[in-house]
Structure 1
């Protein structure tokens, strides 16, 4: 059969604390399935998977925060690996992932693979459970070196050892707008920060409210405001200072960070500039993040800073395209040549070194998986893997994000709060930025309070 094996995939669903799905490959000889349409449709070219060997009868457990509806696409992306190796993937998605993973490790019940969404969380896992987090095997190191930039490899590295490789990625340095409204008003996309501010003022002069924003997100309220500050630190202070700030090599309330927060305030604390269709400055704290840009299509606001994945929140009737109802442009730097880029993603971390686990971890770091995932995903996903075929990315804004992420013109940095200790990154940083808009707490007091919360060890 020229390196071809035919298998038919099935899915079994069971209820639990999260959603657990089991993918099983059914092998056979000849034209198994009796020539049925499903068996023919699921034929897979297994030549790229021969290196993993026959894993029939083996099971790999995966634990992640990726739940419905995105979990279905995630599971479907494993199908070629399942088809060609015979392995079973036991997938569990949980909204309590970050709280429960350390509990499972403490109890001695780790998953084989976990998708860790923050480098800071990865560092804490390695520090707290050094005997359970497994360093990446050579096959994974080779893939990481070949298919990812040094920056992305470093984000999965702790004390010089590679533990985790990137899974998905996103770009946060975007401003959503309406191309149709811009054309009607004669507005042009700004290419520098000053042009962005000039555009904001022009919208005010024309009788509009330029910006809409919301940082309410349940228990995670405040996180969208941290993205604002991180993006602006990259622009006003630069990538080197950003790294020093994130790693606490300079205080959280360093004067350069105070300046950056003041720059954010020129938009988010400006009564003329916010909060289109939602209220005053204080309304930013209570406006739901996933609904806060709803005013763009109807003209009650014009601009909304959010990542490429915000597209999932638009009404299905809206076309997301460069000449469509809504789209996004790059959040400009100080000059046209200054092109910092803020983003994030998840990392594949192993807690077992069994051969089938290593094989699956290697698959997830390969172009084969990236292309499989892109093929089954409608929008909101791409990878930093340089072997990803951009033609497989279906969403225009995801294609743009991938282009920026893989361009040498842009300087990428990972989300700062995701790299900080949990007490800060998902704690005081969120709550203090909320107080900054809700209570008009001063720039200096907000940053000093976060600095005081930084763990001493």
Structure 2
């Protein structure tokens, strides 16, 4: 019998991720925050360009005296008050301990801005990348720096080597993991399922059959939105990757990521077609913005709670988009999750953030080491819970697969997510995030959006992406 994920005790994280080593290109931004068109500095949202932060400064106490008076800036994609604010709060803990200043700036347009900053010779000290492949791109150009052995040794105490492998390029480590995302989830209302007589699907075939049953009954099975600024389209790429991983297996998936298998290989086209056909079926999708492409990926949280649709396949961070007051569980009106099923095994799609350094200074490496630590994970989780109102039932939207992090800081639902990260096998990192930037954060997203809009078909879209793959 398939496990339920609501109330599962926390367990140590120690699992094997099956994914190609990143030698090529997040989340195409694969959206990790609830912002709209904002840039956030030091946890305070403001529109337009980044403003000077309000990072904490202190004389320290028990910290590293060599860091006192130093400054470090960090740039990343997380830009909502909750996520960017919690990031700054967690950095402030380290800053206060060491009498230094650390400023975080987050922008939804991170993918574009980091290219501009690096190309213009003005990179941040540290950037937190949703795309391991982008770290590999900057490693190839000589812009990001190799992680010093002492920092890598410290970070390795909490992170499985497979998480580290995502930013290891040809045997050299360039990144430090700091955030983990579980993508193979379907959000739903257990009471709505019970009322209408629906059961959680056990296989992928069952899932598609359930969609057909719901449509036949006049119920809308899915909420879908793919708008995400310059990363518009990534929810479609996630769905496609889920299908490929389940139908073709991890070895094929990894060969596709590294282009040993062409992007337009028939199983890939079949997966893209399956998703596009499902979404375009009359009565299959509710989109809060009026169309799938015009609906921000997080805007359907209210719709799910209101019963406009019955399911939403989205990562653990989707909890950040639920309306205030949403309760999680199996009770009346509550929201829960089930595993996005497979016909064989329990493969999972994962994502996350990795930090990379552009500047070689002691204070930069000290912050890099902190970002990869259990102390950071615990401070970030605690801060994000507080910024969402506090309380033992608050779902933060943040996860860390650091095995030394305090899992008691997470709710039962979140501990269930960590359990799935522990037991899911095989586990594969988001493919588009590992592909070259011009593909994973470029042509794949563009063609996905065109396909959803009906401007192309799956074969033509896959052919265009294949043609864009760099030599």
Q: d(CA) in 1 for partners of 2:86 and 2:244?
A: 35
Aligned to 2:208: 197
1:93 alignment partner, one of 83, 106, 122: 106
Scaled by the length of structure 1, the TM-score of the pair is 0.84
1:365 alignment partner, one of 372, 375, 389: 372
For structure 2, the 5+ residue unaligned runs are 1-41, 386-395
Q: d(CA) in 1 for partners of 2:449 and 2:205?
A: 26
Identify which range, 148-157 or 235-244, moves more after superposition: 148-157
CA-based RMSD? 2.6
Query: Would the aligned equivalents of 1:404 and 1:410 in 2 still touch at CA under 8 Å?
Result: no
User: Does 1:108 find its partner at 2:116?
Assistant: no
Aligned to 1:446: 461
Q: d(CA) in 1 for partners of 2:121 and 2:350?
A: 33
Structure 1 residue 53: deviation in Å? 5.0
User: Does 1:404 find its partner at 2:420?
Assistant: yes
Q: d(CA) in 2 for partners of 1:204 and 1:306?
A: 20
Structure 1 residue 90: deviation in Å? 2.8
1:275 alignment partner, one of 285, 288, 302: 285
User: Does 1:253 find its partner at 2:264?
Assistant: yes
Aligned to 1:375: 382
User: Does 1:81 find its partner at 2:94?
Assistant: yes
Q: d(CA) in 1 for partners of 2:109 and 2:448?
A: 24
User: Does 1:326 find its partner at 2:335?
Assistant: yes
User: Does 1:60 find its partner at 2:72?
Assistant: yes
Deviations 1:60-91 (A, max 9, x none): 22222322412211111123322322222133
Q: d(CA) in 1 for partners of 2:293 and 2:115?
A: 31
2:195 alignment partner, one of 184, 207, 217: 184
Aligned to 1:423: 438
Q: d(CA) in 2 for partners of 1:294 and 1:193?
A: 26
1:146 alignment partner, one of 128, 146, 157: 157
For structure 1, the 5+ residue unaligned runs are 1-10, 29-43
Aligned to 2:171: 160
Q: d(CA) in 2 for partners of 1:263 and 1:278?
A: 22
* 1:136 alignment partner, SS class: coil
Aligned to 1:172: 183
1:351 alignment partner, one of 350, 354, 358: 358
Structure-2 change in CA distance of 1:25 and 1:115 (3 Å): same
Aligned 1:199-218 pairs, distance under 5 A: 199-218=210-229
Scaled by the length of structure 2, the TM-score of the pair is 0.81
Query: Would the aligned equivalents of 2:158 and 2:404 in 1 still touch at CA under 8 Å?
Result: yes
Structure 1 residue 269: deviation in Å? 3.3
Structure 1 residue 95: deviation in Å? 3.9
Structure 1 residue 127: deviation in Å? 1.7
Structure 1 segments (4+ residues) deviating >6 Å: 11-16, 277-280
Structure-2 change in CA distance of 1:107 and 1:441 (3 Å): closer
Aligned to 2:403: 386
Structure 1 residue 320: deviation in Å? 3.0
Query: Would the aligned equivalents of 1:418 and 1:425 in 2 still touch at CA under 8 Å?
Result: yes
Structure-2 change in CA distance of 1:269 and 1:79 (3 Å): same
* 1:170 alignment partner, SS class: strand
Structure 1 residue 321: deviation in Å? 3.1
Structure 1 residue 271: deviation in Å? 2.5
Aligned to 1:38: none
Q: d(CA) in 2 for partners of 1:14 and 1:374?
A: 20
Q: d(CA) in 2 for partners of 1:142 and 1:355?
A: 16
Q: d(CA) in 1 for partners of 2:154 and 2:461?
A: 42
Query: Would the aligned equivalents of 2:45 and 2:79 in 1 still touch at CA under 8 Å?
Result: no
Deviations 1:171-218 (A, max 9, x none): 111111112211222322222112222322332343322223222334
Structure-2 change in CA distance of 1:14 and 1:316 (3 Å): closer
Aligned to 1:342: 349
Q: d(CA) in 1 for partners of 2:74 and 2:295?
A: 34
Q: d(CA) in 2 for partners of 1:175 and 1:196?
A: 10
Structure 1 residue 103: deviation in Å? 3.1
Structure-2 change in CA distance of 1:215 and 1:23 (3 Å): closer
Structure-2 change in CA distance of 1:318 and 1:92 (3 Å): closer
Query: Would the aligned equivalents of 2:287 and 2:295 in 1 still touch at CA under 8 Å?
Result: no
- Equivalent pairs, count: 417
